[in-house]
Amino acid sequence: MKKMFKKYGTVKCIGGLMGVFGLLLAIVSMFLGKFETAQLVMIVIASLFILVGLSMMALVMFKKQGTAKCIGGLMGVFGLLLAIVAMFFGKYEDAQLVMKIMASLFILVGLFVMALMAEKHKTFKAIGSIILSTFIISWILPYGYMNGEQLVNYGMGRLGLFDLGIGLYYAVSFTFDKLVFLFVLFGVYGVLSKTTGYQQLVNWLAKKLKGKEIVTALVMSLFTVAFTVMSNQVLMALVFVPFFASVLTKMKVEKITTFAITYGSILIGILGTLYGTEALTEFNSYLGTTVETGLAYRGIILAVAFVLYNFFIVMRLRKYQNNHSAEVMEDPFEVETVTRKKLHSYPVVIVFVVVIALAVLGYISWTTNWSLDFLTRFHEWITNITVKDFYSWALKDPSKYAFGEDYTLFSYLLGQQAVALGSANFAIYYFIPVMVLASVILAAIYKLKANEYIEAFFDGVKKAVKPVLVVVAIYYIFILAYMSPFIPVVTNWVLGLTSSLNPFLASIMAFITSIFNADFGYTSYSVGSYLTTVYANNLDIIHTIYTSMYGLVQVFLPSSLVLMLGLALNNIDYKSWFKYIWLFVAGMFVILVIFFMVLLYI
Q: Of how many residues is the chain composed?
A: 602
Number of domains in the chain: 1
User: Alpha carbon of 337 to those of 191, 193, 439: distances in Å?
Assistant: 15, 10, 19
Rounded to 5 degrees, what angle do the CA atoms 414, 419, 424 make? Answer: 155
DSSP string for 170-236: HHHHHTHHHHHHHHHHHHHHHHHTTSHHHHHHHHHHHHHHTT-HHHHHHHHHHHHHHHHHH-S-GGG
Chain-centroid distance, C-alpha 118:
21
- Rounded distance between C-alpha atoms, residue 247 and residue 259, angstroms: 12
Single-letter amino acid code for the residue at 99: M
**Inside any domain, residue 75:** yes
φ/ψ of 174, rounded to 5, equals: -65, -30
- Rounded distance between C-alpha atoms, residue 195 and residue 215, angstroms: 28
Which residue numbers in the chain have pLDDT < 50?
A: 1-2, 4-5, 8, 11, 28, 31-32, 35, 62
**Inside any domain, residue 585:** no
Burial class (CB in 10 A: 0-12, 13-18, 19+), 43: buried
- What domain range is 25 assigned to? 1-117
- CA end-to-end distance (rounded Å), the chain: 67
pLDDT digits (tens, 9 = 90+) for 46-76: 555 555 555 555 555 545 555 555 565 656 6
The neighbouring-strand residues paired with 155 are 143
Single-letter amino acid code for the residue at 136: I
**Taking the model in full, what pTM does it have?**
0.86
- Rounded distance between C-alpha atoms, residue 592 and residue 598, angstroms: 10
The neighbouring-strand residues paired with 506 are none
Chain-centroid distance, C-alpha 43:
41
**Inside any domain, residue 71:** yes
**Inside any domain, residue 342:** no
**Inside any domain, residue 104:** yes
**Inside any domain, residue 510:** no
**Inside any domain, residue 336:** no
- Rounded distance between C-alpha atoms, residue 367 and residue 250, angstroms: 40
CB-based contact 280:547 (threshold 8 Å): yes
pLDDT digits (tens, 9 = 90+) for 490-516: 898 888 888 889 999 999 999 999 999
φ/ψ of 146, rounded to 5, equals: -90, 135
- Rounded distance between C-alpha atoms, residue 554 and residue 564, angstroms: 9
CB neighbour burial string for 214-226, b if at least 16 within 10 angstroms, e if fewer = eebbbebbebbbb
- The reported pLDDT for the residue numbered 5 is 44
Single-letter amino acid code for the residue at 233: Q
CB-based contact 188:457 (threshold 8 Å): yes
Which region, left, alpha or beta, applies to residue 371 given φ > 0 means left and ψ of -120 to 50 means alpha?
left
- The reported pLDDT for the residue numbered 242 is 93
Q: Which residues contact 572 (CB under 8 A, 6 or more apart)?
A: 123, 255, 256, 259, 329, 566
Rounded to 5 degrees, what angle do the CA atoms 84, 86, 90 make? Answer: 125
**Inside any domain, residue 47:** yes
- The reported pLDDT for the residue numbered 108 is 83
pLDDT digits (tens, 9 = 90+) for 224-240: 999 999 998 899 999 99
CB-based contact 81:47 (threshold 8 Å): yes
